[in-house]
Structure 1
Amino acid sequence: MNISVFIIECIIMAVLFGILVFGMLFASPLTFISDYPPEIQEEYYRSQNREAAKKTLSKIMAVKKIAALLVLLFLFAWMAHKAGAETFVQGLLAAYGYMIVLAVFDTCFLDWILFANIRRVRLPGTEHMEKEYHQKWFHVKVMLPLLPVFALGGVAIALVMTWLW
């Protein structure tokens, strides 16, 4: 497997992911409402009198996340193939690496640095919640339970990769 191709793929993936996320957030801060800390979500729903919309938005987010996971399954399999992964184990390590890089980029850069400091992506009625937007432990607590899921995703991606190529 070619490590330099893997690194270049990770950089391109992170940049494109950041552009996609922030593009969607600038269009509508509600795009990823379920990814905000609970205190911010509660304040938004309370301040906007939108309790009824809460359940509907949660279902829509679940559908969006499942669709994104399916797209990533095939995209990561293709990327692993392009990086030169030829065996199941190489595909598994590449896929897991892509997921870890994306998770670390999302948590450490998007959530902790950009997301916390750009007021335009804050939910209406929560602009004053400076401390809540700068929570670091919340994002880590969300990401840690996903590590075993990433491992299972890596297996699925490696299987798709070995099946397609």
Structure 2
Amino acid sequence: MITIFIIECIVFCAVFTIFNLTYLFKKPLDWFYDYPDEVQARMRTLPQYKGKIPLKENNYRKKKIPAVIIFLIISSIIVWFSGARDFVMGTLYAFALFMVINFYDALILDTIYFCHSKKVRYPGTEDMVKAYENPKKHWIGFLKGTGFAVGISLLVGGIVEIGSHLVF
């Protein structure tokens, strides 16, 4: 089960990276609220972004809710096929999987790549190196993601438990 878990983590992280970087490069303004507050403040003053910055509510609905639904479905299937057949195992397995992805996102994608890559900087904010390199917002996101992981994992555990009664 450990080998399978490690393979799943690698695959999940790879898919997560491809999905997020593709989306980031195709629609960078959809990620506006993931950027440092100082960068957001600067962008609000720049004429090239006037009327283009998404509303936070629309951004949440467009980006977060579909990701939650997709992750819930995929996680439930993966956890089931990994051998979890009850609420506790389903919850713990999903939580462990989610936390690996959460940590990978905070450390590799956010702290190492995002904070230091010039490719993800908005035009007109390139001089804000200190703001971009500050990982604080990303690690706060990690903590929020941990709370989110608890909720999603409980739902996955419930789905696994219900599934075990329907199948067996």
TM-score, normalised with respect to structure 2: 0.88
Residues in 2 aligned to 1:39 and 1:49: alpha-carbon distance in whole angstroms: 17
Q: Secondary structure at the match of 1:128?
A: coil
Q: Is the 8 A contact 1:91 1:158 kept in 2?
A: yes
* Aligned amino acid, residue 59 of structure 1: E
1:19, 1:142 → 2: CA distance?
20
Q: Residue 57 of structure 1 aligns with which residue? A: 55
Unpaired stretches in structure 2, ≥5 consecutive residues: none
Q: Share of identical aligned residues, percent?
A: 29
Give me the whole-angstrom Cα distance separating, in 1, the residues matched to 2:153 and 2:24. 28
* Residue-by-residue CA offset, 1:82-131 (whole Å, 9 max, x unaligned): 21112211110111112111111111000111112221221221111111
Higher RCO (C-alpha 8 Å, min separation 6): 1
1:47 equivalent in structure 2:
46
> CA–CA distance in 2 between the matches of 1:124 and 1:60?
23
- Provide, for residues 65-96 of structure 1, a one-character-per-residue CA deviation record: whole Å limited to 9, x for no partner: 01110111111111111211122111101111
For residues 116 and 139 of structure 2, the distance between their equivalents in structure 1, rounded to whole angstroms, comes to 18
Contact 1:14 1:105 in 2 (8 A): yes
Q: Contact conserved, 1:3 with 1:83, CA < 8 A, in 2? A: no
Root-mean-square deviation (CA), in Å? 1.7
11 and 66 in structure 1: CA distance in 2 versus 1, 3 angstrom threshold: same
The alpha-carbon deviation at position 8 of structure 1 amounts to 0.5
Task: Write the distance in 1 (CA, Å) between the matches of 2:33 and 2:70.
Answer: 20
The 5 A counterparts of 1:61-76 are 61-63=59-61, 64-76=63-75
- State the secondary structure of the residue aligned to 2:85: coil
Aligned letter for 1:21? N
Structure 1 gap ranges (5+)? none
Pairwise CA distance, 1:12: 0.4
Q: Which amino acid aligns with 2:2?
A: I
SS at match of 2:111: helix
For residue 41 of structure 2, what is the amino acid of its counterpart?
Answer: E
Q: Which residue of 2 aligns with 1:25?
A: 24
In structure 2, how many angstroms separate the alpha carbons of the residues matched to 1:162 and 1:71? 19
1:153 corresponds in structure 2 to 152
1:122 alignment counterpart = 121
**Residues 1:12 and 2:17 are matched in the alignment:** no
Give the number of equivalent residue pairs. Answer: 163
The alpha carbon displacement at 1:51 in A equals 5.5
